Amino acid sequence: MSVQRLNLNTENMKKIILLFVLSSFANFLFAQKDTTRVKILEKNVVSVEEDSAATKVKVGNGGIQVIANHAGDTVSIRIGNRTFDVIERDGGTEITTSKEPREKRKNYGMFNGHWAGFELGINTFHTTDYSLYNNTEYKDWEFFDLNYGKSLTFNMNFAEFAFSNQRKTVGFLTGLGFSFVDYRFDQDITVGKTPVTGKLIPIELDPELDVIKSKLNVSYLTAPLILEIATPLKLSHQRMTIAAGVIGGINIGSHTKIKYKGSKDKERGNFNINPFKYELTGRLGFGEFCVFANYSMSPLFKNNKGPELYPLVIGISFPNVNF
């Protein structure tokens, strides 16, 4: 087993994963104390097991598992043959990653696409325009100045369908996924809408409240259309793949979150976010590891309802996870 340790302050990653999986099925948790199962067409989609030591959430046939101990200091996330242990310590948050060796399975003529799996990326903007605020008191504000190290995207792509040529070297991919996007403000601000025009504006936070962090979170249901090519080039017996295409998304929720010393404040709303998005994607991969860039062609906010911002996400992908 290979083990890697990352000493990072990665509360963002922990909260995105754990809160999504656990909160999405909160009603089921309260329905039964021990084990709850969610089925579609007699197929087990999600099971939740709770005992005195921990709460365990299993998605599908166990390709994804999240285990949170009741002491509140460790969350273990297993995706495929990789395990991530997120451990809270006095000095911060530590992530330990490990990979279990597994038998190589024969590819019975199937095209090996690289969409299904999970991805982690850093959020920025390739285009920004604040001219909407030129004649207002906010004309000198570029309030979406981000803390890039903590503005992260987590994508969980749970379904993949591929159509390929006879040689299984070129294929079109589609599927479904969830995308959770954090925009972490670098200033002590949050955002809200004016009551008259409904325009998005920055709201300064009281410096005496000891603000720890403030962010805007946006969630999407996504679907891609990607052309992928398996090249003759190899690295460690793994073919290099190149892929490009379009990813569409539907906004399924958004909220702001402010964390103070000893308390937090969370507000849900649409914040003038576009209900749909589409972005160009480019990907380069070797086996079970890829790098990608998603270049948005649609602005984050509705026209004349917020700054004109076009997101850009650069990150890494771990495809071919067995959900």
Tell me which of 232 and 75 has the higher pLDDT: 232
Residues 157, 115: contact at Cβ < 8 Å? Answer: yes
Query: What value does the mean pLDDT take over residues 193-213?
Result: 92
pLDDT band at 21 (very low <50, low <70, confident <90, very high): very low
How far apart CA 20 and CA 2 sit, in angstroms, is 28
Q: Is 160 left (phi over 0), alpha (psi -120 to 50) or beta?
A: beta
Query: What does the mean pLDDT of the chain come to?
Result: 80
Q: Is the pLDDT of residue 26 over 50?
A: no
Query: What value does the mean pLDDT take over residues 125-130?
Result: 96
Instruction: Please give the pLDDT value at position 27.
Output: 40
Q: What is the pLDDT of residues 30-45, one digit of tens each?
A: 434 456 565 544 555 5
The three-state secondary structure class of 118 is: strand
How far apart CA 113 and CA 243 sit, in angstroms, is 10
Q: What is the pLDDT of residues 91-120, one digit of tens each?
A: 555 667 676 665 554 444 467 788 988 999
Instruction: Please give the pLDDT value at position 216.
Output: 97
What token pair was written down for 265? 């404040």
Instruction: Please give the pLDDT value at position 6.
Output: 45
**Residue spans per domain, the chain:** 2-99, 117-319
The least confident of 17-21, 57-61, 231-235, 297-301 is 17-21
The least confident of 66-75, 151-160, 169-178, 303-312 is 66-75
Instruction: Please give the pLDDT value at position 105.
Output: 47
Q: Is the pLDDT of residue 19 over 50?
A: no
Q: Is the pLDDT of residue 12 over 70?
A: no
Q: Is the pLDDT of residue 313 over 60?
A: yes
Q: What is the pLDDT of residues 75-97, one digit of tens each?
A: 677 766 667 676 766 655 566 76
For 222-261, letters b (16+ CB in 10 Å) and e give bbbebebebeeeeeeeebebebebebebebeebebbbbee
Instruction: Please give the pLDDT value at position 36.
Output: 58
Instruction: Please give the pLDDT value at position 101.
Output: 64
The three-state secondary structure class of 20 is: helix
Q: Is the pLDDT of residue 15 over 80?
A: no
Tell me which of 63 and 1 has the higher pLDDT: 63
Q: What is the DSSP string of 134-181?
A: TTSTTTT-----B-GGG-EEEEEEEEEEEEE-TTSSEEEEEEEEEEEE
Instruction: Please give the pLDDT value at position 235.
Output: 72
Q: Which residues lie below 8 Å from residue 312, measured CB to CB, with a gap of 6+? A: 123, 124, 125, 126, 293, 294, 295, 296
The least confident of 193-197, 242-246, 293-297, 311-315 is 193-197
Tell me which of 216 and 235 has the higher pLDDT: 216
Q: Which helix (H) or strand (E) holds 19?
A: helix 11-24
Instruction: Please give the pLDDT value at position 258.
Output: 96
Q: Which residues lie below 8 Å from residue 115, measured CB to CB, with a gap of 6+? A: 157, 160, 173, 174, 175, 177, 224, 226, 319
Question: Which of 166, 152, 302, 156 lies closest to 218, judged by CA?
Answer: 152
Partners of 285 in the β-ladder: 241, 290
The three-state secondary structure class of 213 is: strand
Question: CA–CA distance from 236 to each of 97, 102, 114, 136, 239 (Å)?
Answer: 21, 16, 18, 58, 8
Tell me which of 26 and 126 has the higher pLDDT: 126
